Amino acid sequence: MPKSCRVLNGNRLSGPFPMVLTNITTLTDLEIEGNEFYGSIPPEIGRLIRMEKLILSANEFTGPLPAALSLFSNLTDLRISSTNFSGRLPDFWGRLKRITTLQLEGSLLKGPIPFSISELTNLSDLRISELRGSGSAFPNLRGMQSMKKLVLRKCSISGSIPSYIGNWKNLKHLDLSFNKLNGTIPPSFDGMRGVDYIYLTGNELTGNIPGWLLTRNKITDISFNNFTTGSSGPSPQCPIESTVNLVESYSPEMNSLNNVSPCLKRNFPCLASSDRFSLHINCGDKEATINGTTYEADTTPKGASSLYISPGSNWAFSSTGNFMDDNNPDDNFIATSTSKLAIPNSELYTKARRSPLSLTYYGLCMFSGSYTVELHFAEIVFTNDSTYSSLGKRRFNVFIQGRMVLEDFDIEQSAGAVGKPVIKTFQTYVSDHTLEIQFYWAGRGTTGFPNRGSYGPLISAISVTPNFPIPSGKSRSRASIALVIGIPIIAVFTALVVGIYCIKKQRKSSMQKELRALDLQIGSFTLRQIKAATRNFDTANKIGEGGFGSVYKGLLYDGTIIAVKQLSSKSKQGNREFVNEIGMISALQHPNLVKLYGCCTEGKQLSLVYEYMEYNCLARALFVEQYKLRLDWATRHKICLGIAKGLAYLHEESAIRIVHRDIKASNILLDKDFNAKISDFGLAKLNEDDNTHISTKVAGTMLVFYIREELSWSW
């Protein structure tokens, strides 16, 4: 029987999936990428059992991935990126034994990555990114010796990086960025001389940076991790003139060391001696003066894996990622308008800086205070005619100070046309002299139109102005004179303050070292991350108050929603006890226990970072009038069963057996699918308020357990 092929890429077709295609049973190749099809994929697609290549990317399909795909035993190439498919990633992959290319990026699918992926030993190109929901350990890919391109980006993968990856002889591209990977870089990676790109950005990797990595002459990015000083290679300095990006790669506890370059430290400390009150950058182009304001030039061709610091050291940018599949080793990270722009202030929009994955601009040495941030955009890559060059769709996310301010941002859609400028204005606050603006591609939009490599963030100009009066030169001089006169008076006071600070610093450092020594499967968050996520503990984000302290909703820079529990200042517990409790809590992992993401030991208060539970607690769902939920019997049974499973795990199944002893409706949290999860287990010792009635005991002592009466009469 002859093979049949239908290639309908980039035709602006819309409507539901064409049912007529399901009748072409000889079809072996179906490509409908870059259209506007919507709705679910009908089960009738299962008739196409001869299918070898199926590309559905860059459409608006919704619903779960159809189970009928498991019938395509001849399939070798499946691409379903940049869609709105949702639900859990199915586990039928083991039936697709012949598949060599599998791309599942930028959808609404949930993890974890199923075990059956390990059966696809013929894979040479595997790309999974932006998975939602709970995470998982690194999938078993040991048998995939043919792997050339492996992308597992932002899939909430935890644990260590498997050493067997370093033994893959055919590997060319490795991207494990923006996960929760910990431990050290495997020694076997020293042998990956043929790998052109290695991205380990945005994880929780620790230990020393390997010396071989610092001298590697191919693209490598290990920025935003938790490394410590010491290596067998040269000590990196700022600016880094190499193909290795190390910006903010060191642990927060390294910030106090003078022998560590500022660009390697967390939060990118100030390099200059004076404060800045504004920032204006003409991204990707030469210097321009607009209405009396000078926008600094930004013309360096750097990209892929690089850090650039401006000549005046008042701003910098870090770029991560390369444009995949464009078959061009020399990617262009500056876009130029395809036509002359007849718009006001065209000097700001003729060129733009772009990135295939993540682009972060830093405003350095900024004076602490409130600022207005203006981001200038114009779509200058795609055209506004009906030609092939007009088919592209660009979508990306924008974060300021770690908070997402734009999601799935489409420049053309926002401006109303290509080549037309649009300015987005935001308010932010700088408290540690560093302003951070990140542009991030989350796998959305087209990647193949009008040509391969036309995707990712695009920024034309950045303007940052203060919302406060700038101190005058005279007032600064008077302040300086006052300081000089007052130095003898405050010397003794300063010595006392420094002494107290050193003692506290030593205690904090001790706690951080003890946490690291436990090799926990959780992350360490900086106070800046926590403040950015919760908008500086804004009362509007407060979602609860308990015996242990206040709870706030937060949003991390990668889009993860979290719950931050501030431990009460009443706690008299010492560092060692705190570390031991965190070790115990992190060791308890179960679907019906609230997951602990990590902790923050900076500042005056200790904080715990948990997964966010959409329906809050059972008590609110049952008794608080404005939040009451209509729970049918099946849902109530599901909640009861979840509570029972969680308690059974705590009491009998976990390695560290815990008796909760305070099960009540307010300690039962509900996620968006009404899965019940037990909270506040193992926390009793973190709060030693004499009045508290909460207690948790290690199993083996007297078992005291009761169910609050509301759990019975309210049902």
CB count within 10 Å of CB 387 equals 9
* Calpha distance 1→709 (Å, rounded): 70
Instruction: Please give the class, per CATH, of domain 4-159.
Output: alpha beta
Question: What would the CATH number be for the domain defined by 279-466?
Answer: 2.60.120.430
At 584 the three-state DSSP class reads helix
- pLDDT, residue 490, reads 47
SS3 at position 98:
coil
Phi, psi values for residue 335, rounded to 5°: -90, 145
Please give the pLDDT value at position 457. 94
Residues whose CB falls within 8 Å of the CB of residue 654, separated by 6 or more in sequence, listed in order: 587, 588, 590
Strand locations in 380-506 (E): 396-400, 403-409, 422-430, 435-440, 458-459, 461-466
Among 120, 110, 111, smallest CA distance to 138 is for: 111
Interatomic CA distance for residues 375 and 361, integer angstroms? 12
What the block records as the tokens of 491 is 């010397």
Find residue 611's DSSP bridge partners: 562
Q: How do 596-600 and 607-611 pair as beta strands? A: antiparallel
Q: 141 and 118 in contact (C-beta within 8 Å)? A: yes
CA separation for the pair 324, 327 (Å, rounded): 8
Q: Is-cis flag, bond preceding 469, omega within 30? A: no
State both tokens at 362: 């830093």
The Cα angle at residue 82 between residues 88 and 69, in degrees rounded to 5: 50
Amino acid making up residue 388: Y
Rounded to whole angstroms, the Cα distance separating 519 from 567 reads 22
Count the Cβ atoms, other than its own, within 10 Å of residue 534: 22
**CA-to-CA separations, 535 to 59, 232, 541, 555, in angstroms, rounded:** 35, 41, 8, 9
Whole-Å CA distances, 138 to 159, 165, 271: 7, 12, 38
Which residues are annotated as catalytic?
662
The closest alpha carbon to 590, from 532, 530, 648, 640, belongs to 648
CA 608-614-618 angle, to 5 degrees, is 90
pLDDT, residue 695, reads: 37
Give the integer Cα–Cα distance in Å for 106 and 128.
8
SS3 57: coil
pLDDT confidence of residue 708: 44
Residues 6+ apart with CB under 8 A from 180: 135, 156, 157, 158, 203, 204, 523, 597
Q: Give me the phi and psi of 625, to 5 degrees please.
A: -55, -50
Dig out the tokens for 700 from the structure. Answer: 């083996």
Amino acid at 100: T
- CB atoms under 10 Å from CB of 416, counted, come to 8
| Tokens (6 digits) for 696 | 């948790």
Q: What CATH number matches the domain at 523-713, 1.10.10.10, 3.30.1490.20, 3.40.50.300, 1.10.510.10? A: 1.10.510.10
Q: How far is CA 467 from CA 113, 311, 367, 371, in A?
A: 46, 26, 11, 5
419: DSSP letter: T
The β-bridge partners of 129 are 153
Q: How far apart are the first and last CA of the chain?
A: 62
**CA dist., res. 223 & res. 497, Å (int):** 34
- Residue 110's SS3 state is strand
CA 360, CA 462: separation in Å to the nearest integer?
A: 12
Coil, helix or strand for 115?
helix
Q: Are 29 and 52 in contact (CB under 8 A)?
A: yes
How confident is the chain (715 residues) per 10-residue block, as mean pLDDT? 75 90 93 92 94 94 93 95 93 94 94 93 96 87 96 94 96 96 94 93 91 86 85 58 84 72 79 83 96 95 86 90 76 84 88 94 92 95 69 89 92 90 93 92 79 82 93 49 43 50 48 48 76 86 79 83 78 54 73 87 79 90 82 89 90 76 86 89 48 39 39 42
Angle at 474 between CA 473 and CA 475, to 5 degrees: 95
SS3 content of the chain, % helix, strand, coil (to 5): 25, 30, 50
Rounded distance between C-alpha atoms, residue 581 and residue 685, angstroms? 7
User: What is the three-state SS of 299-361?
Assistant: CCCCCEEEEEECCCCCEEEEEEECCCCCCCCCCCCEEECCCCCCCCCHHHCCEEEECCCEEEE
| Ramachandran region, residue 454 (left: φ > 0; alpha: ψ -120 to 50; beta: rest) | beta
Task: Please tell me the number of Cα atoms within 13 Å of 322 on its side-chain side.
Answer: 26
- Name the 3-class secondary structure at 539: helix
Classified as helix, coil or strand, 484 is helix
Contacts of 501 (CB under 8 A, 6+ apart): none
pTM tops 0.75: no
Beta bridge partners of 425: 374
CA distance 346 to 420: 10
Tokens representing residue 651 in the block: 């009491």
Cα dihedral 102, 107, 111, 114, rounded to 10, equals -20
Q: How far is CA 391 from CA 333, 451, 463, in A?
A: 21, 10, 30
Tokens 């759990």 found at = 711
Residues at the binding site for ATP are 565
Strand partners, 435: 363
